[in-house]
Amino acid sequence: MENLSKWVAGAIVTMAFFCLVMSCEVISPGTTGVAFNRWTGSMRSISQGMTFVTPFITSVRSYPTALRTYTMVRKSGEGSDSGDDAMDIPTKEGKHIKQDISVTYNTSEEKAAVVFKSFRGADIEDIEKTFIRRTIITIAQNKAGQMSLMDLISTQRDDLQAVISTELTTELAKMGFVLDKVNLGASHLPKELEDQLSAKMAAQQNAQQAEYELQKQQTLAKAKVAEAMGTAQALVVQAESQAKANKMLNETLTSMLLESKRIDKWNGVVPTYMGGSATPLIKIPEPAKEK
């Protein structure tokens, strides 16, 4: 009888210890727990740390309140799924390209119970593979389909990223998630599209080079014309200056002045012959003095 009492006491202690262990739940840092009562259907949020729940009646599920990133990329081993997982998106022309994308989000601590209820207690990994993945793809495809290929991979790339971020914020919030950011990575074009784009870019570069050469030749031609006009104007100015000088000289050299200059330069010798009508200069001897 004594042995039976000891066995019963031991069993009770063991069961009590087992129940104590089963009632302890540890919520890891960066997560929020949701306690669900199977009998009443009630739910409550649990902060990080250790908490006690009713064994076999209350189940606990944790959701990340720390930032978490879901990635779809082409390069194997870098995305959330293995292999080529880049998102397929259409363009306005009906073409398709592969687009890398990553979405960073977390669970709202206040709405962890909403996440649990909306997805029936599913793990966050399962929620990512279904709801989050499908929501990202749907929004991106709808918006990209309104853009041309060139806009999508160049001029309006930031616009696409912004509109995906805006709409994804709204859709995730409905289910208790908070979006942090959306990042569009590399765009991957099919071989035929790459060839077409390369040919188009080469043609544009050739056209730009030809335009540059034309402008260069026009500029050089204008410079030469300007130089020739400058030279001609300089000659005109020089000729006008010379003409003015000659006019002034002619006005200054009167006949009397010329005669005076000629007398100044005469050496007193009468030329033996002088043509023309000019009167020769004759030296008249002085009269002899009387003795």
CB 33 within 8 A of CB 61: yes
Average pLDDT over residues 261-283: 57
pLDDT exceeds cutoff 70 at 190? yes
Residue type (1 letter), 222: K
The pLDDT-based confidence of 137 (bands split at 50, 70, 90) is very high
Q: What percent of the chain has pLDDT over 90?
A: 26
pLDDT of residue 289: 53
Q: Which of 89, 104, 191, 97 is nearest to 140 (CA)?
A: 89
| CA dist., res. 151 & res. 98, Å (int) | 15
Q: Quick one: three-class SS letters along the chain?
A: CHHHHHHHHHHHHHHHHHHHHHHEEEECCCEEEEEEECCCCCEEEECCEEEECCCCCEEEEEEECCCEEEEECCCCCCCCCCCCCCEEEECCCCCEEEEEEEEEEEECHHHHHHHHHHCCCCCHHHHHHHHHHHHHHHHHHHHHCCCCHHHHHHHCHHHHHHHHHHHHHHHHHHCCEEEEEEEEEEEECCHHHHHHHHHHHHHHHHHHHHHHHHHHHHHHHHHHHHHHHHHHHHHHHHHHHHHHHHHHHHHHCCHHHHHHHHHHHCCCCCCCCCCCCCCCCCCCCCCCCCC
Asked if residues 43 and 117 have their Cβ atoms less than 8 Å apart, the reply is: yes
- Predicted model pTM: 0.59
What average pLDDT is seen over the chain? 77
Q: What average pLDDT does range 88-97 have in this prediction?
A: 90
pLDDT of 12 higher than 70: no
pLDDT tens-place string over residues 27-86: 777 778 777 777 877 777 777 666 756 676 777 788 888 899 999 998 766 666 766 789
